Structure 1
């Protein structure tokens, strides 16, 4: 009998031990699961990764600092005297149980896993040489050899300047760049390609929205705040970055105006301290300063500035200057000598830029002047087919997904180039032209599974014929192998 009782007691103890282990495991799993999820604000429902540290209230309620501050402001600015209200019998200001019942049940949001990226520290041994930078740019940008050389050397020197900043007593000054070129010549694309190839924070901004102190658009410090955002709010990393300011010609000094030029000359004067190097207070995570946004200090001494613009009307200023030097007599230059000069911008001087409306102090902080050439027909053809991300390669890949081969005749490419030159908008015209004549092909091909190859001809580009369509398994006749245009098509 005693043995049966001992057996029963042992079984009960074993069951209790198992129950205790089960409960302990559930508690551990619950705490583990809660640690994997973010805390959400009970008012605005934003996660803790955005709002910052939450304020924990009873009954598992959380309030972010912003909502708590807004609640305090409403209490302070309200017309109700809370002290008298609290003395009134039967009045309860806040009941946590009622608040929990009124709130909808919050959905849990998993925390984002932080990826640890180990990047080698920058030193003199792993700085990319100028010829390597230019070789990478050659894969994406056609032509503009001089511009690619200047940018490659500037970035290489920028890296060396950052590395050797504290190595000796000799201080290396930075060489900011001013890029001039007609629209569509590749200024912005060149810098965007550079951003992908180099491991350095780069911010691409636009000068058209800048005003002296942000009266209507963005203030001047927003240039640095965008670079800080590109560097993931890492100040030390942002102080080694590059800022490309596009449309810099839009802040030229306005002529024949008596009003304050808040978007022209004033912006140039405000940018002087940025180009030279100074401590600037910029907002974190916003373009404008306000009471709700924290500020941080960024030193622009090691930030390289690249300014680019088309400068419309500058060719006329250069032409007038060159014509003044022509003399009278048999050796005099003709007045229309420079009318058809496509590379007239390469003859630009600082005096021409001053006459355009750029102040001398601003030009003095951009010592390197880089000009881009206008695109001719051969360059248009190369842009179509040679870069790694060429437009033709993109369409060939799109049709390859439908198991259709796309080919372009050389005459068709020259026809596209000629149409692009007529539009006079640079390489941007190529996409518009190809989108136009590829619309019907991209629409009709998915209908017919028997189509195996499409050949674009010059007649189709000029609107006098159609493309050559070959069916799957169709062999090309021997006489037509070198001249596929003669094959019947649509």
Structure 2
């Protein structure tokens, strides 16, 4: 991310998301500002707060996809959560601080994977030696007591001198690397985690329940159990075990905490659902406002207790999104509004955008369906006119029923290709061109019958 300018970030997002130039520019600037902040002296760095963003627009226009692709591009901890999952403290439901704990868990997994990649070569070497110890238990002074099934040379190893045993060991190493031992089986010790103890905690006290559960889990560590597996599977298990020995989990947790605090992104979806109008309505509105007030300190900057230690939320970037059909950002409590200074409206998608979505992105639906049916040796292709017809139908149905944006393309494409998907195993080796007439034929009944299209498309 440190090498990407805002223009390059937008260019990367363009590979997967069509249109929405304003939203892409805004998130690109926000991400670049995070890098800029890291270059400043510590006394000034701590004063610069992240510029949180509210993205407004109907469903299916790319709000979530922009945030997800951005996080993948940046390689930073990212967690998406629906604001509707939370309830005010005192009600039954999730505590808002739980999203920070989930983000920390993602950060730990991210750093752990990176550390495992760093020690992979060393872990593979150790795993290979451990595997040879199991195959030839007497080739080293310390015997593991594990046997090798089907090794004709095993009875003679005990009588051989050390030099001869070393020579045999190297022969086995060569055979293993050439794949000649893959069909054999060995017994290997694995650690089986005991059944976790789940503590039912009071609403708003999930942190305490998590700590008690973790403490009980440490009191009853996992048991060791012998499994009989083939050599290739044993090698993978040993790599995992050796990697765990080489990685310092305390260091991983510390690195993850720093990364979460400095580069973490929390995506709050459906924030409009907790923006109730202040008309003195019923308890639902009271609860919505309560969620906002619980959310405020987390967005503002506080310390959240996780099982990996205390995490400060001062510099976590919050990106929120909502359709805002029945409410508007000004319906949020003023304090929370002030914590989301940047706002961008995403435009609705029309026929032209739908056509581009079907043809331009690397992961376009047409590419996905072609690849899926290719597994059955059935080749399909789409004519330009066919995709234009699909795009026009998507726009028409969105206008006539409910506007669900680009998600409408999923339902239409599935409708068009359902027969081919079903018959694909019987049509292996064929090549089929899907043209405008084919699309019209498959969509004719649902397009003409408006009530039917409400249910099917």
State the TM-score, normalizing by the size of structure 2.
Answer: 0.60
Question: Which of residues 416, 420, 426 in structure 1 aligns to 2:405?
Answer: 426
The answer to whether the 8 A contact 2:83-2:269 is kept is yes
| CA deviation string 1:422-444 (max 9, x = no partner) | 13211111111111111111222
The answer to whether the 8 A contact 1:459-1:465 is kept is no
Q: CA deviation at 1:165?
A: 5.8
For 1:258 and 1:207, the matched residues in 2 are separated by 19
Aligned length: 291
Partner of 1:444: 423
* Structure index of larger Rg: 1
For 2:69 and 2:443, the matched residues in 1 are separated by 38
| CA deviation string 1:254-281 (max 9, x = no partner) | 5442537453111112222122212222
Gaps of 5+ in 2: 109-252, 445-457
Question: Which of residues 79, 86, 100 in structure 2 aligns to 1:203?
Answer: 79
For 1:174 and 1:449, the matched residues in 2 are separated by 54
For 2:344 and 2:310, the matched residues in 1 are separated by 31
For 1:206 and 1:222, the matched residues in 2 are separated by 12
Q: CA deviation at 1:303?
A: 0.5
Partner of 1:306: 319
Q: How do 1:27-38 and structure 2 match up within 5 A?
A: none
Change (3 A) 1:405 1:238: same
| CA deviation string 1:143-191 (max 9, x = no partner) | 1111101011101112322443616478323210011011111101111
For 2:443 and 2:410, the matched residues in 1 are separated by 21
The answer to whether the 8 A contact 1:203-1:227 is kept is yes
Q: Is the counterpart of residue 399 in structure 1 residue 422 in structure 2?
A: no
Gaps of 5+ in 1: 1-121, 285-294, 315-351, 467-490
| Partner-residue secondary structure (3-state), 1:271 | helix
Higher relative contact order (CA 8 A, sep 6+): 2
Partner of 2:130: none
Structure with the higher fraction of residues in helix conformation: 2
Q: CA deviation at 1:360?
A: 1.3
Partner of 1:462: 440
| CA deviation string 1:381-419 (max 9, x = no partner) | 000111010000011122333343321122211221122
The answer to whether the 8 A contact 2:9-2:28 is kept is yes
Q: Is the counterpart of residue 224 in structure 1 residue 90 in structure 2?
A: no
Change (3 A) 1:260 1:208: closer
Question: Which of residues 271, 274, 281 in structure 1 aligns to 2:295?
Answer: 271
Q: How do 1:1-40 and structure 2 match up within 5 A?
A: none
The answer to whether the 8 A contact 1:277-1:300 is kept is yes
Partner of 1:471: none
CA RMSD of aligned residues (A): 2.3
For 1:169 and 1:218, the matched residues in 2 are separated by 33
Question: Which of residues 237, 248, 271 in structure 2 aligns to 1:248?
Answer: 271
For 1:464 and 1:419, the matched residues in 2 are separated by 12
Q: CA deviation at 1:445?
A: 3.0
Partner of 1:239: 261
| Partner-residue secondary structure (3-state), 1:463 | helix
Partner of 2:145: none
The answer to whether the 8 A contact 2:416-2:443 is kept is no
Partner of 1:10: none
The answer to whether the 8 A contact 2:377-2:429 is kept is no
For 1:236 and 1:165, the matched residues in 2 are separated by 17
